[in-house]
Amino acid sequence: MEIELRFLVVSSWARGNTLCPSCWLPRPRLGAEWAYALDAATGSVKWRASGISGPADRIARLAIGADGTVYVCSTDRNLHAVDGVTGTTKWTFTGEVIDGEPIIGSDGTLYLVGGGKVFALDGESRAKKWEFTVGSAVATPALGADGTLFFGAADRKVYALDGRTGVKKWEFLTGGAVKSSPALTTDGILYVTSTDGYLYAIVAGTPPADSPWPMAGQNPGRCSCMIRSTRGGRHRGDRNSASSERVW
C-alpha cells in the first residue's frame, strides 16, 4: 500500500462528505412508509413499495442489482429487496443496524455497513458470509475489480479487506475521522477525504469492479446518479447532459 498524494482541502464541505469523480448528490429520502419508482422521462409514479418506513429524519440508501432488484436500506435501518418492475417486496433482512448504501459485487454479494462493522450477505440466501468489526462509524465502501473492499472509518483509518473472506489486507492512518466514501479510479487510485482537512490519493492497485452497483449509467466513477448537475451539486429532477436544462 502506497500513498501517492495528500492534498489539503480548503472547503469545509469536502471534510466528511462523499467524494465522487462524477457528481455530488444528496441521498434519496423515502415517504412516510413508501419507496417510489418514477418514470425517468415523465416523472410519473410507476409504483410505490409499502411497509418501508422509519424515522423521517433519517435518509434512505438504495442500490439496484443486475436483475433489477432494488435494495433499500430504509430509515428503520433494515434492508428491503424490492422487485424493480412491480414494487413488490421480495424479502426484508433484519437483525443488523444498516447505515450505508449497499454495494453489490459481480457475484451478487451485498456489502453493508452499520453498527461499527462491515459485513457481506449472499444476495440470494441472505446468509451472512463474514463480518469485520471496526468499532466506530464506517463509511460506504468502494469495491475493486480484484475483490478488495475499501472503506474509511471514524477511527481515522482507511481499510482494505478481501471481499471474499473479510480478512484485512491493510490499513492506513489519517489525521482525522474518515467519514467520506472513497472513490476508486480506473487507474487504481483510491481517493478519500478526512476531517484532518486533507484529500488522500492511495495506490490501491486495482480499478473499480465491474459490478451492478454503484455503476449507474456505466460511468467509471461508480456513482449513484446518471447525470452530473451543474447547480451546486444538487439534483432537482433529471437534466439534459448537453444543455443542463431540466427535463421535468
Do 161 and 199 lie in one domain? The reply is yes
Do 11 and 32 lie in one domain? The reply is no
Strands 79-82 and 70-73: antiparallel
For residues 135 and 143, give the distance between their C-alpha atoms in angstroms, rounded to a whole number.
21
Do 39 and 21 lie in one domain? The reply is no
Q: Residue 48's Cα: distance from chain center in Å?
A: 22
Q: The domain spanning residue 160 has which CATH number? A: 2.40.10.480
Tell whether 143 is covered by a domain. Answer: yes
CA angle in degrees (0–180, nearest 5) for 19-221-121: 85
Residue 41: its pLDDT value, please?
Answer: 82
Do 48 and 9 lie in one domain? The reply is no
Do 6 and 50 lie in one domain? The reply is no
Do 201 and 142 lie in one domain? The reply is yes
Query: Among the three residues 80, 98, 116, which one is the final residue of a domain in this structure?
Result: 98
Looking at the predicted structure, is the pLDDT value of residue 157 above 60?
yes
- Quick count: other Cβ atoms within 10 Å of Cβ 91? 10
**Which band of pLDDT confidence, cut at 50, 70 and 90, is reported for residue 228?**
very low
| Termini Cα distance of the chain | 46
| Lowest-confidence region among 36-45, 62-71, 143-152, 213-222 | 213-222
Tell whether 107 is covered by a domain. Answer: no
Domain residue limits at 220? 1-27+138-239
Sign of CA dihedral 225, 228, 230, 232: positive
Do 16 and 40 lie in one domain? The reply is no
**pTM of this structure:** 0.75
Do 148 and 209 lie in one domain? The reply is yes
Query: Among the three residues 43, 69, 98, which one is the final residue of a domain in this structure?
Result: 98
pLDDT tens-place string over residues 126-150: 899 999 999 999 998 999 999 999 9
Sign of CA dihedral 27, 32, 38, 44: negative
Cell numbers representing residue 45 in the block: 409514479
Query: Among the three residues 73, 98, 123, which one is the final residue of a domain in this structure?
Result: 98
In the chain, the amino acid numbered 129 is K
How many domains, in total, are found in the chain? Answer: 2
pLDDT tens-place string over residues 181-224: 898 888 899 999 999 999 999 999 999 888 776 554 444 444 44
Do 142 and 235 lie in one domain? The reply is yes
